[in-house]
Structure 1
Amino acid sequence: MEILTMVVTILQLLCGLVIILAVLFQSGKSAGLSGAIGGVADSFLAKNKAKTMDAKLARATKWIGAVFLILTLVLLILQGRAA
């Protein structure tokens, strides 16, 4: 059981590092008054939005976050059985 806990812990650590990198590589979102004014241009360019690198990174962040959450729950269950 200790080996399985160690493997899940290592996977969770790697998943956390990948989440950090994915978030750092994303560009910042416009906010405030300039974001409200630039909203018209965003709607014109939104048709290719799913193909951009930021969209792919956002999608990857969601999936990796879900895997991180599942690994956390598995680790919690494994720790509960060991006690």
Structure 2
Amino acid sequence: MTIFIVIVLAISSIGLIATVLLQSGKSAGLSGSIAGAGEQFFGKAAKGMEGLFSKLSMVFAVLFLLSSLGLTIFMK
């Protein structure tokens, strides 16, 4: 079981790194990040590849979190 969790952890970490690196940079700085968060909060979703990479990075982050917690539980 631990081997499976280690494999999931490795795949999720590589996937998370890849999706974060493939996302386009925000050059607006702090004000752009606040405005972008407000736009997403009020219903304007990110379109195209940015939305896909955002969702994929969220999925990989959750997988990474769950697999690392599972690994610490099984290693005790």
Which TM-score applies when normalising by structure 1?
0.68
Pairs within 5 Å for 1:22-61: 22-32=19-29, 35=32, 47=44, 49-61=45-57
1:73 aligns with 2:32: no
**AA in 1 matched with 2:57:** T
Question: Structure 1 regions of 5+ residues with no counterpart?
Answer: none
2:10 to 13, 20, 27: 13
Identity of counterpart residues, as a percentage? 35
Q: CA deviation at 1:33?
A: 8.5
Larger radius of gyration: 1
Measured at CA, do residues 33 and 72 of structure 1 come closer, stay the same or move farther in structure 2, by a change above 3 Å?
Answer: closer
Unaligned runs of 5+ in 2: none
Aligned-partner Cα distance in 2 for 1:33–1:71 = 32
CA distance in 1 between counterparts of 2:71 and 2:48 reads 35
Query: CA distance change for structure 1 residues 77 and 32 in 2, over 3 Å: closer, same or farther?
Result: closer
